[in-house]
Amino acid sequence: MYKILVCAVLVLPYVHSLPVEQENSTSYFAHPMDVHFTGGSTRIIGGEEVEAHAYPFQAVLLIYKGEAEYFCGGTLISNRLVLTAAHCVIMKPDYIVVGLGVHSLKEVGTGVLTLQTSDYVAHSGYNGDTFQNDIALIRLPQNVTFTEYIQPVQLANGINKYEGDKATLIGWGQTESVSLSLVLRGVNATIMTNDACGNVNPTYKEVIRPMHICTYGTGTVGVCSGDSGGPLLVDGVQVGITSFGTEICTLGMPSVFTRITEFQDWIARGAATTHDALHFTAVVLLALCFSYLFN
């Protein structure tokens, strides 16, 4: 009995960490208006509907924790990984439904793929009070096949700060008139320096760090936070992950994103922490346990 208990203690944590694979389903998008929002305000102000499938890396995330449901955005960065914000998964959801190739939330279009997973990792240094390290990875239960509707995004690298560049935020976030847009929308904004962002007021000064990237719009054209976890793009390259913004967009306050170039190493390490590695570890431990039990 002692040997059995020892094996259980060693193996069960790895077995529990493995995602439960589910069959694909399209029913999860039947009631998009019923999902709640995570990460506070989610608005795209002054934006317009984008051309269908112009952003084939955009992902819909329906996040389930007990009886609660949450809505986030994300981006496909490989045939197995989706990038999003840590605050989208910090509640340790039971499972996440990932939609790829989606433009309209009210109908299942051509090329849409939905997958369910419980395999995700948030940055261990995420701080919900200061919004630092707001980044996470979601691992899909299978490799996806790239099509004209589903493609990975190019991530920013190097030391470019993109200050003064024109950027685009996309998502299904709340607009001026409705609680959730049923079609993918986009809005243009300008990337500002972190010094200018921090000097907006003392509250921004407290939280803005090099790991952040800020944007501003003109008048009421801008964003509060778009879809939490969604992308900030410069010439089609993802430079940021939607993190936080003010409650009232019309105040003209900056929107803040997680800066991709500050997390290149973390993304690489997270991609290496694979489901396959967990599976291999569990198998090895099981083999050792069997040897231990019967010798």
Fold of 55-152+262-276: Thrombin, subunit H (2.40.10)
Q: Which of 41, 103, 134, 227 is catalytic?
A: 134
User: Known catalytic residue: 87?
Assistant: yes
In the chain, where the domains are located: 55-152+262-276, 165-260
Domain made up of 165-260: CATH architecture? Beta Barrel (2.40)
Structure confidence by residue, pLDDT tens digits, 113-156: 999 999 999 999 999 888 899 999 999 999 999 999 999 999 99
User: Known catalytic residue: 228?
Assistant: yes
Q: Report pLDDT for 108.
A: 76
More confident site: 99 or 13: 99
Global confidence as pTM? 0.77
DSSP labels, 51-81: PTTSSTTEEEEEEEETTEEEEEEEEE-SSSE
> What's the mean per-residue pLDDT of the chain?
78
Q: Which of 87, 103, 123, 212 is catalytic?
A: 87
Length of the chain: 295
Equal fold, 55-152+262-276 vs 165-260 = yes
Q: Which of 118, 228, 243, 255 is catalytic?
A: 228
Q: Which two tokens stand for residue 6?
A: 């020892």
User: Known catalytic residue: 227?
Assistant: no
More confident site: 30 or 135: 135
Q: Report pLDDT for 254.
A: 84
Distance between the two ends of the chain, CA-based, in angstroms? 14
pLDDT at 231 over 70: yes
